[in-house]
């Protein structure tokens, strides 16, 4: 199969005008100008469009897709989090099918051009069964909560998180100690120890709010009240007397296999520690904006050499699961950031964070043919990067491992 278009954006090298991508048995075998491709069909000519790699949603919660539009973010994060917990309990009482919710999240992701996810799962067994049956590739991070009166859940949650029942070359298993306000330091270390046995990836929500540091240093503030209101608090919850990033470092969580979700409140020393560790940061731009957080330091992180990738968080805090929507938002907010850098954050850097850089994230010979087609609109600049970030067009076709998953329209020839 050969797909052709006005632009090809390989991501790992410059844009190709009048480009094409050839693939066979699910892998890319040639990338270049259309005139350099073999003459033999089948081929599809998408015309005035852009061909780019599948987008990578490095941090999401597909199982929260049922709450789309129901839980608008607010500056009071612990109040919002309480509403999420109440909504989840209500869904359980109503016997809402979690697997169907995840399937819907998968369908929405593919329709938006997302071909890889880093998904956080409270109930990994059911979620992983759906992901294993889907075309998506990525990591399913089993979530671990163990603090106060719930520290006794550690062994059970860790066993579920580390289970490899549904693991494959396409779907890998990871462990996610949820956050510093829901997992005690000893439990964090237990998660790291379990992950080290198999080299499993790790993920943690870290430095998501300003109040998180108050809790890690002194066991005070909104998160302490949140735990009391949940009936989880007990007096033996340790104060770490340090900030969240330093706490994660002490627990062994800052590794090259770790995806830090959010990192909204970090100082220069935090950035240095993350950079030295090789951990990635999954920045969720529109969720960050919706909660009214202070400006994110992703540009400082990139300058420090941190692998900053993009996530959507969930439909409980975001209007869509589209990484392209996130990139377009960033392009409007930060026009000084090169469009090529933004595209890499939404593709190659996400694949790197999730351990799939050798398999996906760019249109490179030998990699999986995870390909997205985006139609252009109006008069286009010569720069294909900018073209799709300024456009409002949705995907016209999505391929995963060379298999067409969604198609809205295309001009084909030779088929």
Q: What is the DSSP string of 154-211?
A: HHHHHHHHH--TT--SSEEEEEEE--TTTB-HHHHHHHHHHHHHHT--EEEEES-STH
Question: Once rounded to an integer, what is the mean pLDDT over residues 330-355?
Answer: 96
First to last CA, the chain: 10
* pLDDT at 409 exceeding the cut of 70: no
Q: What mean pLDDT comes out for the span 317-345? A: 96
Fold of 2-54+363-413: Urease, subunit C; domain 1 (2.30.40)
Give the ranges where 346-401 is alpha helix by DSSP (H).
Answer: 348-353, 384-390
Q: Find the range with the poorest average confidence among 81-85, 207-211, 248-252.
A: 81-85
Contact criterion met (CB below 8 Å) for 39 and 77? no
Give tens-digit pLDDT for 131-165: 999 999 999 999 999 999 999 999 999 999 999 99
Give yes or no for residue 198 having a pLDDT over 90: yes
Query: Domain spans of the chain?
Result: 2-54+363-413, 55-353
Q: What is the CATH number that goes with domain 55-353? A: 3.20.20.140
Asked if residue 230 has pLDDT above 80, the reply is yes
- Contact indicator for 357, 88 with CB cutoff of 8 Å: no
pLDDT at 381: 56
Torsion angle (degrees, nearest 10) of CA 171, 162, 144, 148: 180
Whole-number Å distance between alpha carbons of 224 and 232 = 10
Cα–Cα distance for residue pair 213/192, rounded to 1 Å: 21
Q: How many Å apart are CA 224 and CA 313, to the nearest integer?
A: 24
Is pLDDT at 229 greater than 50 in this prediction? yes
Whole-Å CA distances, 277 to 42, 147, 254, 309, 360:
46, 26, 6, 16, 23
> Residue 279, SS3?
coil
Q: Note the pLDDT of residue 391.
A: 84
Q: Is 413 exposed, middle or buried (0-12, 13-18, 19+ CB in 10 A)?
A: exposed
Q: Edge-to-edge strands of the sheet including 258-262? A: 55-60, 114-121, 137-144, 171-177, 202-206, 258-262, 280-283, 307-310
Mean pLDDT across the stretch 282-310? 97
The b-or-e profile of 135-171 (16+ CB within 10 A means b, else e) is: bbbbbbbbbbbbbbebbeebeebbebbbeeebbeebb
Mean pLDDT of 327-340: 95
Of the pLDDT bands very low, low, confident and very high (cuts 50, 70, 90), residue 178 is: very high
> Confidence class of residue 379 from pLDDT cuts 50, 70 and 90?
low
Average pLDDT over the chain, rounded to an integer: 93
CA triplet 125, 129, 130: central angle to 5 degrees? 125
Give the model's pLDDT for residue 260: 98
pTM of the model: 0.95
CA distance 123 to 317: 20
Q: What does the pLDDT read at residue 41?
A: 66
Gap between the Cα atoms of 260 and 300, Å rounded? 16
Based on the number of CB atoms within 10 Å of its own CB, is 85 exposed (0-12), middle (13-18) or buried (19 or more)?
Answer: exposed
Q: Which of 126-130, 305-309, 367-371, 391-395 has the lowest mean pLDDT?
A: 391-395
φ and ψ at 384, to 5 degrees? -65, -30
Q: Is the pLDDT of residue 250 over 90?
A: yes
Check residue 380 and give its pLDDT.
59
Q: How many CA atoms lie within 13 A of 244 on its CB side?
A: 28
**pLDDT tens-digit map of 91-133:** 876 778 899 999 999 999 999 999 999 999 998 999 999 999 9
CA angle 383, 384, 385 (to 5 degrees): 90
In this structure, the chain runs to a length of 415
């Amino acid at each position: 199969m050969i797909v052709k278009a006005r632009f090809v954006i390989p991501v790992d090298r410059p844009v190709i005008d009048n480009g094409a991508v050839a693939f066979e048995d699910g892998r890319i075998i040639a990338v270049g100008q259309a005139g350099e491709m073999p003459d033999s069909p089948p081929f599809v000519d998408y015309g005035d469009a852009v061909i780019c790699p599948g987008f990578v949603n490095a941090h999401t919660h597909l199982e929260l897709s049922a709450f789309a539009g129901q839980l608008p973010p607010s500056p009071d994060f612990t109040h919002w989090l309480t509403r999420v917990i109440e909504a989840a309990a209500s869904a359980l009482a109503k016997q809402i099918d979690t697997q169907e919710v995840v399937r819907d999240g998968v369908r929405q992701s593919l329709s938006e051009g997302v071909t890889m996810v880093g998904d956080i799962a409270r109930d990994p067994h059911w979620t992983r069964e759906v992901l294993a049956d889907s075309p998506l590739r990525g990591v399913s991070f089993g979530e671990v909560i163990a603090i106060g009166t719930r520290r006794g859940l550690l062994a059970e949650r860790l066993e579920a998180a580390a289970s490899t029942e549904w693991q494959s070359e396409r779907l890998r298993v990871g462990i996610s100690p949820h956050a510093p306000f829901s997992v005690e330091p000893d439990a964090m270390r237990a998660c790291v120890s379990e992950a080290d046995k198999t080299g499993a990836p790790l993920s943690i929500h870290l430095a998501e709010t300003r109040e998180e540091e108050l809790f890690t240093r002194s066991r005070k503030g909104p998160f302490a009240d949140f735990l009391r209101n949940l009936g989880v608090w007990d007096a033996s919850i340790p104060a770490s007397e340090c900030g969240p990033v330093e706490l994660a470092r002490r627990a062994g969580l800052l590794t090259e296999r770790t995806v830090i979700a959010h990192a909204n409140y970090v100082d220069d020393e935090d950035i240095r520690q993350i950079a030295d560790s090789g951990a990635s940061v999954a920045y969720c731009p529109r969720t960050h904006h919706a909660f009214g957080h202070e400006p994110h330091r992703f540009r400082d992180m990139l300058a420090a050499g941190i692998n900053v990738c993009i996530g959507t968080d969930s439909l409980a805090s975001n209007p869509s699961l589209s990484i392209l929507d996130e990139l377009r938002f960033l392009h409007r907010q930060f026009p000084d950031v090169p469009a090529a850098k933004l595209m890499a954050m939404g593709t190659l850097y996400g694949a790197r964070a999730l351990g799939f850089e050798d398999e996906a994230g760019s249109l490179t010979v030998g990699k999986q043919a995870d390909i997205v087609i985006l139609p252009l609109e109006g008069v286009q600049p010569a720069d294909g990067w900018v073209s799709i970030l300024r456009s409002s067009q949705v995907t016209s076709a999505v391929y995963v491992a060379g298999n067409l998953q969604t198609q809205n329209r295309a001009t084909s020839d030779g088929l």
